[in-house]
Amino acid sequence: MKNFEKKACAYALKNAIAHDGKAIVGSVISALFNEGLKQDEVKKYAKEINKIVLEVNKLNLEEQEKEYDKIKDGLSQRETREGLDELPNVSKKGVIMRFRPAPSGPLHIGNMIGAGLPNSLYVKKYGGKFYVIFDDTNPENVHAESYKSIKKDCDWILGNVSKYLISSDRMKLYYDYIEKLLKKGVVYVCTCSADEFKKFSNSKQNCSCRKLSVNENLIRWKKMLNKNGFKEGEAVLRFKSDMKNSNPAMRDFPLARINEHEHPRQKKKYRVWPLMNLVVPVDDMELGMTHIIRGKDHKDNAERQKMIFKIFEKKFPWTFFIGRVKFTDLILSKRKLNEMISKGELSGEDDANIPTISSLRKRKYKPEAFVKFVEQRGLTEVDKVIDSKEFFKIIDSFNRRS
């Protein structure tokens, strides 16, 4: 390999800068594959790469950045242009990705760093389609004003949304899928109380609803939809996964429930609401999602959604579970933010004391500053704990440079 040492050094520095000053040998090796390193050469170079990584990790972050600036020109263009690692399985048409904010309050920096920006940036990198889908099928978790403010925020900070979709406008699609699942006999309407079902689950037993015929289930489903049928809490649609699954959270999980709370957008039009583990895989199948970057807290959900994909014999999108950025001193709970706004403790969604996207926009931050932060961090499963002072020190320096 030409200029091996220089390239290995540059990648070690780049990797270290993105990971709090500590490069990882494996990451450096995989980056070198982009430069033509062959699998059967890894052994030959491993010792030297190890040595370089050790040396790089001895430097502090500032020294690493200085060194990197000096030698990065030797790297292939796409590696330095975008700080993001390559994704696997990217076709010539690019990628189809999404961001699913709940319109339940103001979007904040945590939403963007953990999901919005990484997905958006990969669509910018490869081309393709980028959907923003409002997750609003829990009528109790919807703020009518949030649709508009979230769209404004996404237009500003992401800027490449191909299409905005609203889940609650797609109810017919979800109902159609539920009927297909009922007819395939892979879901059932369970009328056990929550307590009863919990007992079955704890003892790894099937409840008696599970063995009902397809016809019986279709009748029960109609009774869920009919306002003179089952009442709220009396019936829930469950997926037949496996009541003996070692993870209790996977045992016959629910896909839809009755909730008569008035929906701010759909009003009283629906009483049966599909849950996340139905809505998300249906959208992903229908829109042909190819890659998903989501938080580590969604690992169980991804497992559940994979089961729905399997029923329809569809290939599950490539998925990466990104580590969380945990702010030690910022309020990121939408519920808490809403509460403080309605109590008048904050002047509004764009109050200068909170890390909402509208507040950052008002404070004259440029979207590029946050893009740089996400690019430098890259795809990592490692959680990062940071306080606001440290975070804004980084963001401020990016903001000056961009």
Q: For binding to Zn ion (CB under 5 A), which residues are involved?
A: 190, 192, 207, 209
Q: Which is nearer to Zn ion, 192 or 279 (CB)?
A: 192
Q: Which is nearer to Zn ion, 192 or 293 (CB)?
A: 192
Q: Chain centroid to CA 51: how far?
A: 36
Min dist CB 240 to Zn ion, Å, is 12
| Cα 301 to Cα 225: distance, rounded to the nearest angstrom | 25
| Closest to 124 (Cα-Cα) out of 371, 395, 339, 310 | 371
| Cα 61 to Cα 382: distance, rounded to the nearest angstrom | 18
Please calculate the CA angle 140-146-148 and round it to the nearest 5 degrees.
140
Min dist CB 223 to Zn ion, Å, is 14
Q: Which is nearer to Zn ion, 209 or 369 (CB)?
A: 209
Min dist CB 307 to Zn ion, Å, is 19
| Closest to 325 (Cα-Cα) out of 280, 392, 402, 397 | 392
Q: Which is nearer to Zn ion, 198 or 222 (CB)?
A: 198
The gap between the terminal CA atoms of the chain, to the nearest Å, is 35
CB 158 within 8 A of CB 120: yes
| Cα 290 to Cα 280: distance, rounded to the nearest angstrom | 13
Q: Which is nearer to Zn ion, 192 or 395 (CB)?
A: 192
CA of 90: how far to CAs of 77, 291, 293, 302, 317, in Å?
18, 9, 14, 20, 11
Min dist CB 34 to Zn ion, Å, is 53
Min dist CB 198 to Zn ion, Å, is 11
Contacts of 167 (CB under 8 A, 6+ apart): 133, 134, 135, 136, 137, 279, 283
Q: Which is nearer to Zn ion, 208 or 226 (CB)?
A: 208
Min dist CB 186 to Zn ion, Å, is 15
Min dist CB 253 to Zn ion, Å, is 13
Q: Which is nearer to Zn ion, 133 or 207 (CB)?
A: 207
| Cα 358 to Cα 234: distance, rounded to the nearest angstrom | 41
